Amino acid sequence: MELDEYYSIDSILAEQQVDKEANLNGDQSEIKRGSRMELPYWVARPLAQFTSLISIELPKIYGTKVRNALDAGATNVDFKMLCPYFYLFGRKLLDLVVDDSLTGVLERAFKHRLRDVMDYSQSAGSATGHPFELKLDETEKELYRVGQESTKQFIQWRDRSAKHIQSVELGARS
């Protein structure tokens, strides 16, 4: 975790995206070379960065099945169910996993979904619970809220400014 992310709740929660935890010393059994196990990110990261004990594979949430679903229709993928911190966790994995295509997957998904996030935020008003909004990851939810707030502020500015505009007489000074 970077120093500027130390107090970030979203950063902390993004690192908790593995369903199962492994207790490496709890049962006193020997772990054989080549064994595969799921570890939480916060355990796997230091092991992968500072030792050559483990290699990290991409989690299933960034695997072929999800990539195919994103290619078929990125806006139909339910990121809240898949991984509530899809982009943030994916960004953290970029330094640990040898997969040159992960950057492209994250970028394409974000670009395709951003259009709809902004369209809905500009037109849906303050309605919450819209089916589209329920599929967003935390990054997209924040952009959605910012889009709604900027639309609201623009409308307030537009309505107020129309009341305060006065004509100015332009004439030659004598």
The 10s digit of each residue's pLDDT in 61-96 is 999 999 999 999 988 899 989 999 999 999 988 888
User: What sign has the CA pseudo-torsion 31, 36, 38, 40?
Assistant: positive
Q: Quick: pLDDT tens for 6-58.
A: 667 777 667 665 444 445 545 667 777 777 878 888 888 888 877 677 778 88
SS3 40: coil
Q: 127 pLDDT band (50/70/90 cuts)? A: low
CA distance 114 to 111: 5
CA distance 44 to 80: 23
Q: Quick: pLDDT tens for 132-159.
A: 788 999 999 999 999 988 888 888 888 8
The pLDDT of residue 21 is: 45
Phi, psi dihedrals of residue 122, rounded to the nearest 5° = -85, -25
Query: How far apart, in Å, are the Cα atoms of 49 and each of 12, 31, 42, 53?
Result: 18, 20, 11, 10
The pLDDT of residue 4 is: 61
Which parts of the chain fold into alpha helices (H)? 9-14, 41-50, 64-73, 79-82, 86-93, 102-123, 138-164
The pLDDT of residue 67 is: 92
pTM over 0.75: no
The pLDDT of residue 70 is: 92
Q: Which two tokens stand for residue 91?
A: 């960004």
123 versus 108: the higher-pLDDT residue is 108
DSSP symbols for 75-115? GGS-HHHH-TTHHHHHHHHTTTS--TTHHHHHHHHHHHHHH
Domain ranges of the chain: 3-25+34-160
Residue type, 42: W
Count of other CB atoms within 10 angstroms of residue 21:
12
**Is the pLDDT at 165 greater than 70, yes or no?**
no
Task: Answer left, alpha or beta for residue 77, where phi above 0 means left and psi between -120 and 50 means alpha.
Answer: beta
Residue range 3-25+34-160 in CATH 1.20.58.2050: yes
